[in-house]
A and B are shown apart, each in its own frame.
Chain A
Amino acid sequence: MKTIIYAFCSLVLLIAGSSCEKYLDAPSQSSFSDEIVFKNEKLTENMIFNIYSYFAQTNSHRGRYQPLFGMNTDIEIFNPTEIDDRSVLSTYSASATNAQMSGTKDPNPWSSFYNAIEAANICIRGIKEYGNPQPDNNMGYFYAEAVALRAVYYYDLLRAWGDIPARFEPVQPSTIYMKKSDRDVIYKKLIADLGEIENYLPWPNGSTRTSTVERMNRAFVKAFRARLCLMAAGYAQRPANLETDHTGSVIRLSNDPELQKNVLYKIAKEELEDVINSNSCKLEPNFVDIFIKNCQDVVKAGEEPLFELPFAAGRGRMLQTFGVYHYDASKYIASTKKGGTNVPSPTFFYDFDPQDIRRDITCVPYKWQKAKQVVNTDGDKAGWNWGKYRFEWMAKVRLVSGDDGLKQIYMRYGDVLLMYAEVVNELDNDQTTAKKQLELIRRRAFPQSLWPEKVTAYLNNLTSKEEIFNAIVDERAFELGGEMLRKQDLIRWNLLGARLSLTKNRMQQLKSKSDRYSAVPDLVYYRLKSDGESLEFYGFNPGESGIPAGGNWSSIDWQNQVITDKRISTYFQNDPDKKQFWPIFQSDIDSQVGYLINDYGY
């Protein structure tokens, strides 16, 4: 008996004897502290990947920003005309309670981008504290990558929302809630940051990590810094007073002396020159190859793209929204009803020079149905499609029902040259250099036989700074249409409202084939080519009147059917210049408990 008692008593003492406080420590097990992580290169790189991962989060770039940001412009529209939570995001009539953007289940772009920024802030502080980042070591690369990625997410926030909270340190209890900061503060910080770290990054192909365009490299970051400079130095809608007036707004340049053109364009010029002189990227000789390679997932550095969002093969919705519409399954796609959501505006095709190679690559008037191209002028997916994105070009048949794996080209060399032209024209009135860039772009756009007329003569006609500027405004549309850059370009040039109004008028004119469109034929003829799947057209080009030769033609009053009254009336529903930005959505306002207020009268 005693034995039992003693045994139990000693066991109890043994257990009760250990200190309470110590007993109650329960460190997490499948995790490390920041010191361990940021002293180790492999783990640090894993944290860097975390920043990238927010591009692919369900409702971040992948599900919301790519499909819904950037329209409507003079050349790009959201195709469905039904007024719903998706379309209003493009028609300048979104409300804060937009259900597409409610961030309750999966964070919306706003929350996702700030999650990414926090991930970057953690890396930046951690690497600085524990990692000894140097321009020539891996930690230095990761450090610069975090800083650059943070700037990318900020850029996307600034484009969509204007003034936003400035979060440049990991969240503390006191900084969970934060008011908006003047966007100028953020611009200055980003531009300074990028200037500081760009030399930590190798040029494209300067290291294994920069041998593809899926990660940060020096050429991209420099060009991207230039893009930020152009944006910061440009016009934008700003609240009449960030603190007190949340309804009024003005469109103006920054008042900050550091954010004036003469300062920022200088930076941009240097950066762009560095990129051009580095010879680390180049113009793709054939315009169409940029997009074929993109669809075929060529990510090699040293070519036209400088950086692409690194979606895996089964993630991302670029093709699903921007691609040529496929009504049903075929040898190109094993799924149905994909593509055709974001399309060229009805007038864009007619803005092009008819001989511009880029026109027929960019704007295509067909969809796919029953394994061949068809003309579709009624229903929701009527009209033009972006020919830059085609399931037909993909290396493999895509069986996906949603995600397609297309990596969005975030910056390409064509953009670099056009920015450079704009900067030197504006800053130095250096028309020669500016025209030289335009020449490079236009030579690719026209067959060599047409260079004398379409390149040399065209450029010779541009004699003033203003004419060159206007040429650049047009050229950026022809070159970069459907690449999600136009809206921001129009805003910084203060052309958004004007251009959209103009385009609305032109849609009306084109529908009735009047004014500048009086030469557009009434009917479009189409028939299947001998390959049994592709269509040929007659009647799109001005002057293609009458009935084409040969048989089997069908005809359709394309313009009148595509440009419906509803299309015109829902093109923009408020003055775009009064609603240049999305409202901050309700879930984000709610979760910041009174710290965030929507400006611009939202």
Chain B
Amino acid sequence: MYKKFNSLLYRSLPGIFSNFWLRMKLTLLLSIIALLQARASSFAQIITLEAQRQPAEIVFDQMRQQTGYDFLCSADVLKSMKPITMSAKRMQLREALTRCTENQPVTFSINDKNKTVVIKKRPEAAVSEPLNKQFNIVPVTGKVTDEKGAPLQGVSVKIKNTTEGVVTAQDGSFRINVENSNAVLIFTYVGFDSREVSVGNNKELTVQLKEAMMLLDEVVAIGYGTIKRRDATGAVSSVNNKDLIAAPVSSPLEAMAGRLAGVKITVPEGNPDAEVIIRVRGGGSITSDNSPLFIVDGFPVNSISDIPANDIESIDVLKDASSTAIYGSRGANGIVLVTTKSGKQGKLTASYNTYAGFRNVLGKMEVLKPYDYLKWQYELHSLRNISSQFTDVFGEFLTLDQYNGAAGADWQEQVFGRTGNVFNHNLALSGGSEKMKFNFSYSHLKDKAILQSSGFKRDNLSLKLNYDAGKDINIDFSGRISRTRAEGDGLSGESGGPDDLPSNSFGRIKHSVIQMPFFIKSINENIDQDELENGLTDPITAINDNYKERLRNNYNLNGSFSWGITKWLKLRTEFGLDEYRNQLESYYGVTTSESKSNALPANIGKPIVENTDVFTRTFRNTNTLNFRLGHLLPDDQSLTVLLGQEMINAVSDKETNRTEGLPDFFNAQMAFRFLGEGSPVQHNQFYYPDNKLMSFFSRVSYDYHGKYLFTGTLRADGSSKFTSGNKWGYFPSAALAWRISDESFIKRDWLNELKMRLSYGISGNNNIPAGQTLKTFGVAEQKPWLSITNTWWTAGTTLNNPDLKWESTHSLNLGIDFAVFNRRLSGTADVYKNNAKDLLMEFTIMGSGYNTQYQNIGETQNKGLELSLNYAAVKKQDYGLDLGFNIGFNRNKVMNLGPLTSGYTKSTNWQNTEVGADYIIMPGQAVGKMYGFVTDGRYEVTDFDGFDGSKWILKAGVADATEVTGADAVRPGGIKFRNVDGDAAGKISESDKTVIGNANPLHTGGFNIAGRIKGFDLMTNFTWSFGNDIYNADKIEFTSPTKYQFRNMSNIMAEGKRWTNLSPAGQIVNDPAQLAEMNKSTTLWSPYMKKSVFHSWAVEDGSFLRLATVSLGYTLPKILAKKIYTSNVRLYVTGYNLFCVTNYTGFDPEADTRRNNRVTPGVDYSAYPKSRQFVMGANISL
């Protein structure tokens, strides 16, 4: 009987399975409990019952009635069961059965498809072998490949309705034992559609997996967990490893450029260690940093630029408050979640990626030819009445024609014209057993930049271990070490301390443009010291005398422990430690003003070395409880609850040293190595207040029918940056999503996915230096200023504010995700409105006794629209074409500025205080409004009544720029500005400044094209920005001598274009008719003016379309790869920065060089030039 039952049970064919059961229960079973029932779909697998020593058959009958499931059981099995005592309230069927079969000699299995439960005798260990035989255990082997036949390693192979499973080996093979040929195997693999295969009589399976067409089934990180994209309710954009390594870059941020809607990546300068600016949906804060929060494997870090792209599995950017609120306090500017690669079960695999290439500068600035230069200089000196200073150096005017046709030195070529090169390689080892998985990676990057002396090196080591300790306990460990070394002129001077502001790399590029076309040593005696320091020192000497070296060391260790306490409750505990050290050594040679002016008198004119050493240690502990509470709800609903607690403590200190008086023949290398030759004049160690954060958070996710999704989060953050009463900030959010495509009334064949998302939430910001609430006293920065002491103590120039509280961003987001035509076309659209309130602003309070104070003042708004589209245009075995497109519109607006009702102006100070205010921040306007004079052509002869012998007399009513450009420049040919304030006298003054530019683009975005034919693949990535203005400060500097002498100019001001006042005989002409005749074909004004002036001519359209990368690859056929003992080999060439379509006349339209003010974006001043780069590389897997 028993045997027969079993044989029947396991030999039936699936097709007749249910009918067979209807018959069997009448003939073969005793105590038949199941009856034919109308199986209303309203039955759920939820059990509520009370049993006090009830016989099993009664209990099973109740369950049957409640669930509509049939119960199958032989009489002797039923007899062997002890009476059952249990209590269940809205309990999942599986759970209830587990309870009532506890300590019973039986096991059960549930077949959801057939709505049946089978109760059978628990196999004894001793008899398991014969039982296996009876059960006809079948070994199945097979191989899993992708559509192209390439083996897939790490594919999970599971027997349906069981927990048993294996993972494919490196060659895609697997081996698994099934109980009979009815078994169904489920194959799942990240990035591929899952597939179910019936075993049948096949003992040897070949399974092809199709690459997933659409991202909707991909898993996205959402903070303290992951979620399937189809279930996501927030706005999340992602980049995966494939995109990151397709065209290798040193910083993963660069690879994100143009790929994510609403995420603007700017590389403001071309230096190898350049800061990459990332803005998610604009920026809410005005004076604070608007960078997003970076989280690497759960750990908050300052920057991700030191992580090699190879090591990254995926980057997810959380954009709306429903996604960011789980990070509460620090989520206001968006969150960048980086997940690094983990090991995969299987045989040890190794992959080796390498590339090498070269780079050259994108473009140079044309300057005046020597003869033109000399004529202009003579005119300048004559106008200033100091022509003898010119003739002292270059001789009389009439002798200058000897320079006609002479070529000048190409200083730019000497300074940044060299060919740089780059080399990178990366070795990754991965593998592991079912219990233990690991991933190890080593990377090395070396970059010789185009600027003399400038270079970059980086080494990374990482190790990730995952240990499955059994009983639902997992232990993970990851460690990352990075060491970065950047050197040369062209490094920023940031110390890396917690209160440090970003700065541009350096300001000496301009020297190679304004340098005289030929270098005369004797000039040193004749030229003003300031002049030399401001650009006329021999450029190569200047570079060598401003040498810097930066060394960054970062250790990051993470350990975690997760424990499935019950089926529905999981505990996860994470510990992390991050140590970060940033050392900067700066050398100031004898030609620098630091050495000439700022040294102690005894050390004047000798080299100086300055060191800063910032050390930060961050410790983190996070504990989360994850409840899966679906079993408490009806069958078609699910509920998960996350409860968590987190604690972060960052400790920092900064050491600064200054050594002066080194021997004057020491170059930078000697100075660094023999520092003892000098005398230490400053030494300080500063310990920052600890930055602590204590948080409690919770997330509730609920879905109904998989169609209606709800996520709610709440986080409470306590920060040590605020005083008690203001320490805690509470950040709630709620999000709803509706999968419209699952509604029967909307279901269409062509519509694969349509989801609408709506979210609202609050996230916070405490992005201010720690220690702002208390007044304390400490050592002021040591300065050799007073004769009575070298050090003093101070309460600082920033007033404490005990009332500081959290800044909060209220954000509303409405989004749509869709996929149509068999998922060939998919996309996402979002509209949002973010209002940042109680802005933490560093408020200027000069005149009170302090310069600034942090205050909660003002409100800003960012509104925008984002759209991204992906189209799989061609998808065939041997060829394919994918197109991606994204665009983001963002409107920034200052809603209010507290007491500053009419706003305030800001100076970028690129030319010290000469230019004065050049940005304005006003309620009702965006941050980034440029503020200056309106260019109104030039003074023509007709604007004057005449020349009175000493000066030109302006006609009444003509705007008079004397105050701005100088009395001598108000003459025919002088630049003219518009009298904006309309004062009757026509005087051009500060009040004629107005808004003349806007650094905010109308939209930014990118599109990429990926194609493949057989083994070849081609990937291109375009990025663009449209409608933003650039403040071309270079243009101002390069087209006027301002207050200086002997400077060269850009050929914008070449002879024939500029107005000239100099007759061919070398006389300044003051005859109106002659002047007009001489200049009838010139178009521009005379460069002559007394200082740098910001006017609308220097505001240029910064729109651009850049072909950022093109990568062409070839993957060797498998057979060939095998022959060289590899499993996969791809060779590729990549070009970067191949072209940039723009009307911008400066070096590069992406410049943003006055970053320390934070409210002055889009200034292009002496930026490190960008380069065009080509690399060749190989990806090799063993």
Contact = CB atoms under 8 A, between A and B. Distances in A.
Find the residue from B575, B687, B788 having the highest chain A CB count within 10 A. B788
Contacts of B604: 314, 399-400
A505 interface: no
A282 B458 CA distance: 68
A376 to B, nearest CB: 11
Contacts of A11: 573, 575
Contact of A49 (B473, B691, B792): B792
Contacts of B802: 173
Given A102-B907, A115-B851, A97 B788 contact: no
A313 interface: yes
Given A32-B776, A313-B787, A84 B844 contact: no
B160 interface: no
Given A24-B694, A176-B799, A176-B853, A83 B787 contact: no
A114 B847 contact: yes
A426 B916 CA distance: 47
Interface in B510-542: 525-530, 533
B688 interface: yes
Given A107-B846, A176-B853, A590 B904 contact: yes
- Majority SS of interface residues in chain A? loop
Contact of B967 (A8, A15, A83): A83
A486 interface: no
Contacts of A336: 527-529
Contacts of B914: 99
Contacts of B15: none
Contacts of B601: 313-314, 396, 398, 400, 405
Contact of A30 (B686, B692, B968, B990): B686
Nearest to A584: B847
A11 to B, nearest CB: 8
A446 B422 CA distance: 78
B900 A593 contact: yes
Interface in B893-939: 899-900, 904-907, 909, 912-917
A96 to B, nearest CB: 8
B471 interface: yes
A587 B573 CA distance: 52
A46 B792 contact: yes
B788 A310 contact: yes
B682 interface: no
A371 to B, nearest CB: 11
B1066 interface: no
A337 B848 contact: no
A177 interface: yes
What interface size band does chain B fall in? Answer: 35 or more
Contact of A5 (B473, B528, B770): B473
A155 B803 CA distance: 34
B386 A379 contact: yes
Interface in A376-412: 378-379, 396, 398-403, 405, 407
Interface stretch (B591-599, B1056-1064, B1106-1114, B1162-1170): B591-599
Contacts of A434: none
Contacts of B385: 378-379
Contacts of A566: 950, 967
A47 B950 contact: no
Given A24-B719, A115-B851, A176-B853, A328 B904 contact: no
Interface string A330-350: 000011110000000000000
B724 A21 contact: yes
A457 interface: no
Contacts, number: 286
Contacts of A379: 384-386
Contacts of A115: 797, 849-851
Contacts of A118: 795, 848-850
Interface in B441-496: 469-471, 473, 475
Given A115-B851, A379-B386, A32 B963 contact: no
Interface stretch (A50-58, A242-250, A269-277, A436-444): A50-58
Nearest to B530: A401
A591 B846 contact: yes
A29 B573 contact: no
B990 A596 contact: no
B690 interface: yes
Contact of B847 (A170, A310, A312, A588): A588
A167 interface: yes
Interface string B761-794: 0000000001100111111100111111101111
B845 interface: yes
A53 B727 contact: no
A233 interface: no
B774 A50 contact: no
A188 to B, nearest CB: 21
A467 to B, nearest CB: 43
A560 B952 CA distance: 21
A460 interface: no
A170 B900 CA distance: 24
A117 B900 CA distance: 25
B718 interface: yes
A342 to B, nearest CB: 18
Contacts of B783: 53, 56
Interface in A30-81: 30-34, 37, 43, 46-47, 49-50, 52-53, 55-56
Contact of A117 (B528, B786, B849, B912): B849
Interface in A277-324: 299, 310-315
A212 to B, nearest CB: 8
Contacts of A83: 962-963, 966-967
B694 A23 contact: yes
A34 B777 contact: yes
Contacts of A165: 847
A82 B967 contact: yes
B600 interface: yes
Given A105-B907, A407-B787, A588 B720 contact: no
Interface string B660-696: 0000000000000000000000000111111110100
A31 B718 contact: no
A53 B900 CA distance: 31
Contacts of A587: 844, 846
A30 B386 CA distance: 54
Find the residue from B719, B844, B909 having the highest chain A CB count within 10 A. B844
A257 interface: no
A56 B787 CA distance: 10
B780 A53 contact: yes
10 contacts: A95-B990, A97-B917, A97-B991, A104-B917, A173-B803, A177-B848, A214-B787, A310-B787, A315-B785, A335-B529
Closest 3 A/B residue pairs (Cβ): A118-B849, A97-B990, A49-B792
Given A115-B849, A334-B605, A586-B990, 8 more contacts: A20-B718, A26-B691, A29-B687, A34-B777, A49-B791, A171-B850, A177-B848, A587-B844
